[in-house]
Amino acid sequence: MTADASTLIGPVQMRVLQTSDAGPLSAAYQLNRDHLGPWEPARSAEFFTPAGQSAVIESKLALQAAGQEVPWVLLEGSRIIGTITLTGIVRGPFLSANLGYWVDREFNSRGIGSAAVGRVLAAARDHLGLHRVQAATLVHNAASRRILARAGFDEIGTAPSYLKIAGTWQDHVLFQRILG
């Protein structure tokens, strides 16, 4: 996967994460801190700083170099308005990965998340040769569940106390998309 930007919707672009994204990503997380808080793990104050994001990016790019992750950013101009990532990429007979994403509160309900998920599924199939992509969402996250349904994911069950989100172990609905 190259870092070349590709258009998602209107002026919104998607490209692979870069080391130079630490400042803009920090600004995006600061702006969306309250919006993302109920849906993500509790974050330290350091996470929201450029130095904190630099450390996160370094880790993600190392996982990408090892073939275990592909992290993208969603941009409007030079402003990061979200991320989407394939994590836990497994080769061999499994050929699977996990999907995670978020979109800036200002850009919700514009089809950006759906367009990004569609682009990532195509990359997972066509460039990474994956067979399956999994996703998990909080039971009460109706918006994310709609995005996954539109992208052709099948609900495969509920995992009790699956992830510690906003400081509490919470149930998640599990989804999968078989790519072929």
Q: Check pLDDT > 90 for residue 1.
A: no
The number of residues in the chain equals 180
109 confidence band (pLDDT: 50, 70, 90) = confident
Q: How do strand 12-16 and strand 96-103 relate by DSSP bridges?
A: unpaired
CATH number, span 6-132: 3.40.630.30
The reported pTM is 0.92
Tokens of 137: 């969402």
Work out the average pLDDT over 78-104: 97
pLDDT of 16-67, one tens digit each? 999 999 999 999 999 999 999 999 999 999 999 999 999 999 999 999 999 9
Residue 22 phi, psi (nearest 5): -60, -50
